[in-house]
Amino acid sequence: MDNIFSIAAFYLLGLVILGSAILVVMLKNLVHCVLWLAVTFIAVAGLYMLLDADFLAMVQILVYAGAVCIMMVFAVMLTQRKDMKSSSLFNAQFRSAGLVAFLTAALSAYLAMRTAWTSTVMPVPPRTAEAIATLMLTKYVVPFEVAALLLLVALIGAIILAKEVKADD
Amino acid sequence: MINSLSLSIGITHFLVLSSLLFGIGLFGALAKRNAVMVLICIELMLNAVNINLVAFNKFVTPLAFIGQIWAIFVITVAAAEVGVGLAIIIAIYRNRLSVELDDFDWLKW
């Protein structure tokens, strides 16, 4: 990837991803956090475009920026009753949490930079959706069905858990 | 070779970016008080993992599509996790009228 446009796109998208992720963690208003989360997800979809995964970019926008963000807003609206201005605060152990997170990120980034990756020069085939569909229904058909079953179980479980519970008496 | 190495975007750039995103998500998941916020930060960490998988798909095995299929399964499991997690949060909220994680201490001795 030596094209000047892809280099610029990578740094721009990386800046947007990291900046909006930091805003998600740092802001005090929970609704603002969810809005910046949508920005993060859409920038990650742009990164998938850069990596020749166009089908996955569309799935990312549909599932994450669409469904997950809307469900988060639903949960916020159903559970928040006091003032929204200070609804997303830090707890008492945020210093040690910051240390642990910084060490984890630094260690994995250092290891990623140290490793000599053997990357190929082969391009990704241009029609990714076709290739993924073929693989899903031939080689990976059992995980595909298991994922469908998992979604069904999660749907039923979410309905049962969130249903209004009657008192026993 | 050295000249182009410093400018071109390789797999290392994507891995470092996803490490930083994972660190931000981990910090939020450990340090936030609101249960919804912890779920949001778990989603950030899953996105970092997906960036890794898609980058490996492009740079290591472009013809086998293993990385992209893995990423699709991760997205599926994440969607299920969000659904069940939010349902649990709403069920707990109905009992305790709170979503602060410090209030969920039934299992403490």
CATH of residue A16's domain is: 1.20.120.1200
Q: In whole angstroms, what separates CA A138 from the centre of its chain?
A: 27
**One-letter amino acid identity for B3?**
N
Which CATH number describes the domain made up of B2-103? 1.10.287.3510
Number of domains making up chain A: 2
The predicted pLDDT at position B5 comes to 47
Whether residue A132 lies inside any domain: the answer is yes
The predicted pLDDT at position B71 comes to 94
Q: Does one domain contain both A3 and A83? A: yes
The predicted pLDDT at position B31 comes to 92
Nearest CA in chain B to A17: B21
Query: What tens digit of pLDDT does each residue of B67-96 get?
Result: 999 999 999 999 999 999 999 999 888 888
Does A69 touch chain B if contact means CB atoms closer than 8 Å? no
Whether residue A106 lies inside any domain: the answer is no
Whether residue A96 lies inside any domain: the answer is no
Nearest CA in chain A to B5: A2
- Say if residues A126 and B52 touch (Cβ distance below 8 Å): no
Low-confidence ranges of chain A (pLDDT < 50): none
What's the token pair of residue B41?
A: 């930060």
Q: Does one domain contain both A16 and A76? A: yes
pTM: 0.90
Q: Does one domain contain both A135 and A74? A: no
Q: Where are the domains of chain B?
A: 2-103
Residue A15 burial (CB count, 10 A): 12
* Interface subset of A 1-60, CB within 8 angstroms of B: 1-2, 6-7, 10, 14, 17-18, 21-22, 24-25, 30, 33-34, 37, 40-41, 44, 47-48, 51-53, 55-56, 59-60
Residue A35, exposed/middle/buried by CB under 10 A (0-12, 13-18, 19+)?
middle
Give the SS3 label for residue B63: coil
